[in-house]
Amino acid sequence: MKEFENKTALVSGAASGIGYLICREYVAAGGNAVLCDIQPEDLQKAVDEINEIRAGAAIGVICDVRDYAQVCHARDEAVRAFGSIDLLVPCAGGAETRVLKVDGKTEFPDVPIEVYDWGLDVNLRGQLYFDHAVLAQMREQKSGVIVHIGSITGEEGCSHNIAYSASKSAAMYGMTRSVAQYGAKYGIRCVCVSPGPVLTRAAMANMRTMLDRAAEPREIVDFILYVASEKGAFINGTNLMIDGGRAAMRRKQYGDK
């Protein structure tokens, strides 16, 4: 029996990057995957690729994580297709000024506030929406695992992407603990995984770590799936850094290449 046989993962931001890899590896380990993304063509391509592993194991749902009705629709489609949601990873997110292509030299007070609204809506509100919607299903099942995605930026801060930093730090950790407290009586765990630099973008190679490299995406995915598995069943209500030691580096060593 494979690790996730007869189980289902619901993942946002799943048309590419870490979200896509989580779904692919979950299906390879015997599970089903519901991929949510706002990009229809990329989403369909990702679903088709994963279904080559096992036909019918993956479906795609177009979803803007800022719209609660669309989030609920994604939940309902997952249950309709596969009968349960055993793992939720609200993975959609990104640094607002990079995603919205704001000049890196523009200072915080000069960035349009709508940029930071987007950052908070996608990185924080989107995860809260998925938690709220999916917990109704997990409560009925009396089981489930929620893995939030934090970031080393939440530990370090960032003078430019302030909404991203805020969302990926105390706000995310507090939501993780709170959801874990609520879910405990229903057999539901909630954990935050906070990666350091990951080679989903070439620029990440420029961020220093004690290991003198950025993580391969598969390293982050393997860790998330360990947390979601029975092997990680005693992990709950905490933030787990997987950053190559970046957060522990001495300040005088610190700084990008």
Cα separation, 25 vs 170, in Å, equals: 29
Q: What are phi and psi of 14, to 5 degrees?
A: -100, 5
| Antiparallel, parallel or unpaired: β 144-149 and 87-90 | parallel
Cα separation, 198 vs 55, in Å, equals: 30
**Chain centre to alpha carbon of residue 18:** 8
| Six-digit token string for 153 | 């930026």
**DSSP-assigned letter for residue 238:** -
Amino acid of residue 249: M
Q: How many CB atoms are closer than 10 A to CB 186?
A: 14
Which one of the listed residues 26, 129, 164, 173 is annotated catalytic? 164
Is 129 marked active-site? Answer: no
Tell me the β-bridge partners of 57.
none
State the catalytic residues.
164
